[in-house]
Amino acid sequence: MEQQQNVVTGPTVKPNFAAMSKSGQVDKQVLQSSLNNFFQLIGDLLQEGPNVEVDLHEFGKFSSINRNIIYAPLNKQKPSAFQGKQTVKSLMEIGSS
């Protein structure tokens, strides 16, 4: 039987919540609790299974493959799926521009 260990670590860089809340025009406490809740939710999802995907729409996407977390920012150059079929050539042209 596999033994689970919970490891709690602090952030390696302390976020500047005051500056972040000012630039986002949000109350500092609201921003801080929202971010803490968000990362707690990701941790809870990762405990449920090794492969998780959290889509943040215009903010990108968090993916977990075999419990390795990857952040993928939104690629605004990537064509939308609603544009219909794409050829490999047109996708390569978009990638080179």
> Domain extents for the chain?
13-48, 50-97
- Cα separation, 28 vs 60, in Å, equals 23
Read off the tokens for 89: 């050539």
The token duo for 15 is 């976020």
Calculate the dihedral angle through the C-alpha atoms of 11, 16, 21, 22, rounding to the nearest 10 degrees: -170
Threshold 0.75, pTM exceeds: no
Helix (H) or strand (E) holding 71: strand 68-72
pLDDT in tens, the chain (97 residues): 555 566 666 667 777 888 888 888 889 899 889 888 888 887 787 777 778 888 878 778 888 887 778 888 877 665 555 555 667 777 777 666 5
